Structure 1
Amino acid sequence: MYPYHGKDAMKLMKKADISMYNAKNTGKNRYVYYSDKTSTFA
């Protein structure tokens, strides 16, 4: 979420991508908010 997780599009998209893959790895039909803990799954 802007501006907490980044102030430019590239940082925000990278963190959104990390969250998307984390959600996919934990099952279908989910959403995940980015946190420093989820960044380790990338």
Structure 2
Amino acid sequence: MSLQAVFDVQPHLTTWWLTAGYHTLTVLSVLLTVASGYAALY
């Protein structure tokens, strides 16, 4: 996720399904990070 600020992928998101996949992967990585942090603490 921190590399999303470095790499400009907007020119490659030319169709709706590429944009949806990009955002889906972003949300999934955030949720997995939160779940892993929760599991590590408890």
Q: Is the radius of gyration larger for structure 1 or structure 2?
A: 2
Answer 1 or 2: which has greater helix percent.
2
Q: TM-score, normalised by structure 2?
A: 0.49
Structure number with the bigger relative contact order (C-alpha 8 A, sep ≥ 6) is: 2
Q: TM-score, normalised by structure 1?
A: 0.49
